């Protein structure tokens, strides 16, 4: 068996069709289909129900999909561990989504430098989906991400989760010279909003938990959308509209008065910030060292870390 076949099978689950999965894997669809067939031949079972109009796994494929992911994660981790040992390195690679690289990662780096100075924490910064995919494929040993109502452990059951705290989303606007919001709440004035694409993680938060109470009472116009939170922040600073942004991301602007939080009954949303690693199996000694330190630091009933 080739591990590339497992990567193909997991890509097929993620993409939802043979054509999209083949494009993701940079191969032609016939070649991709042959590789899925070779995996099935090696296992002696059918993993994909080819009689279905939409992509559907067979009961066996559905039952063991998490085991395939765990096997690939552990194999990749073992390879990385052997390579690191060969070169005398004590390095742990962590996947971090872009915004958390600004708001939460510096704290983790300072803690690592203070408490585990002999271990280097390498950073792989991507968008949320890519960060999860990199971790799930075993290319990184840890994952730092935000979550919604359901934790990632439902889809990554072979992992261990540590909740570090919450990212607090607040409604903000650029301020006038007198300190009032330029894009304040007025019954007779259209409120300009900077939003996120509905299909994105932040978009799902916005449309489910922020917009309903706002649109019930005010006329709202979404003037710009972006999947990059930092871009929405820059648009807000340019005065293009109000936005829901992470409080940590705009802490300096709130302190200087460049941005102000909108008053009233607009919701604030607390989103869990979690750290993940592979549970059990073959793990780096260095990764275990960092995990134990962070667990001791953040596991004290939500106490703030001493940095």
Choice between 148 and 307, residue whose per-residue pLDDT is larger: 148
Q: Centre a 10 Å sphere on the Cβ of residue 276 and count the other Cβ atoms it contains.
A: 25
- Specify which residues 90 forms β-bridges with: none
Tokens 């993620």 correspond to 14
Distance of alpha carbon 69 from alpha carbon 132, whole angstroms: 12
Report which of 211, 202, 204, 207 is spatially closest to residue 233, judged by C-alpha positions: 202
Residues 6+ apart with CB under 8 A from 9: 36, 39, 47, 61, 65, 68
Q: How many CA atoms lie within 13 Å of 212's alpha carbon, on the beta-carbon side?
A: 5
Q: Look up the pTM and report it.
A: 0.69
Q: For residue 29, which phi and psi values (nearest 5 degrees)?
A: -65, -40
CA–CA distance, 271 with 154 (Å, rounded to integer): 17
Tell whether domain 167-270 is in CATH 3.40.190.10: yes
Is 267:244 a contact under the CB 8 Å cutoff? no
Strands (E), the chain: 91-97, 120-126, 142-146, 159-174, 191-195, 220-225, 242-246, 259-261, 269-278
Q: Is 172 helix (H, G, I), strand (E, B) or coil?
A: strand
Q: What whole-number percentage of the chain has pLDDT above 70?
A: 91
Domain locations in the chain?
3-62, 85-165+271-298, 167-270
Q: How far apart are CA 230 and CA 2, in angstroms?
A: 40
Query: What's the mean pLDDT in 168-177?
Result: 94
Task: Quote the mean pLDDT of the chain.
Answer: 86
**Residue 306: which pLDDT band, with cuts at 50, 70 and 90?**
very low
Compute the distance between CA of residue 288 and CA of residue 81 in angstroms, rounded to an integer: 12
Name the helix (H) or strand (E) containing 163: strand 159-174
Residue pLDDT, tens place only, 287-305: 888 999 999 998 754 444 5
DSSP 8-class letter at 196 = -
Quick count: other Cβ atoms within 10 Å of Cβ 224?
A: 16
> Which of 6-10, 20-24, 56-60, 184-188 has the least mean pLDDT?
184-188
The answer to whether domain 3-62 and domain 167-270 are alike in fold is: no
Provide the pLDDT confidence category of residue 109 given band limits of 50, 70 and 90.
very high
Lowest mean pLDDT among 83-92, 149-158, 244-253, 264-273: 83-92
pLDDT greater at residue 213 or residue 47:
47
Topology adopted by domain 3-62: Arc Repressor Mutant, subunit A (1.10.10)
Q: Which pLDDT score, from 0 to 100, does residue 83 have?
A: 67
Of 80 and 238, more confident: 238
**Is pLDDT at 77 greater than 70 in this prediction?**
no
Which tokens hold the place of 196? 């996120």
Please check whether the domain covering 85-165+271-298 is classified as CATH 3.30.70.141.
no
Is the pLDDT higher at 150 or at 125?
125
CA–CA separation, 37 vs 31, rounded Å?
A: 10
Per the DSSP assignment, residues forming a β-bridge with 270 are: 168
Residue 302 pLDDT:
47
- Structure confidence by residue, pLDDT tens digits, 15-69: 888 988 899 888 999 999 999 999 999 999 999 988 777 888 898 888 888 778 7
DSSP state of 181: B
């Amino acid at each position: 068996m080739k591990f590339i076949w497992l990567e193909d099978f997991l890509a097929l689950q993620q993409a939802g069709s043979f054509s999209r999965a083949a494009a993701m894997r940079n191969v032609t669809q016939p070649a991709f289909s042959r590789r899925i067939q070779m995996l099935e031949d090696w296992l002696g079972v059918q993993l994909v129900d080819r009689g279905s109009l939409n992509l559907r796994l067979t009961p066996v494929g559905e039952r063991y999909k998490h085991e395939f992911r765990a096997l690939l994660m552990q194999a990749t981790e073992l390879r990385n561990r052997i390579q690191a040992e060969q070169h005398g390195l004590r390095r742990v690679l962590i996947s971090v989504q872009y915004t958390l690289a600004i708001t939460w990662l510096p704290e983790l780096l300072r803690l690592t430098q203070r408490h585990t100075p002999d271990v280097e924490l390498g950073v792989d910064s991507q968008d949320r989906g890519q960060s999860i995919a990199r971790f799930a494929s075993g290319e990184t040993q840890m994952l730092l991400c935000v979550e919604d109502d359901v934790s990632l452990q439902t889809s990554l059951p072979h992992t261990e989760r540590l909740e570090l705290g919450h990212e607090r989303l607040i409604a903000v606007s650029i301020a006038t010279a007198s300190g009032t919001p330029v894009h304040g709440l007025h019954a007779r004035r259209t409120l300009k909003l900077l939003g996120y694409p509905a299909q994105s993680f932040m978009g799902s938060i916005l449309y489910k938990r922020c917009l309903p109470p706002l649109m019930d009472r005010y006329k709202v116009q979404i003037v710009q959308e972006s999947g990059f939170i930092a871009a929405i922040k820059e648009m807000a600073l340019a005065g293009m509209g109000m936005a829901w942004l992470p409080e940590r991301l705009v802490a300096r602007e709130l302190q200087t008065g460049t941005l102000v939080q909108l008053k009233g009954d607009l919701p604030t949303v607390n989103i869990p910030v979690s750290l993940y690693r592979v549970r059990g199996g073959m793990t780096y000694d260095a990764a275990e060292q960092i995990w134990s330190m962070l667990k001791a630091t953040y596991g004290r009933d939500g106490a703030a870390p001493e940095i």
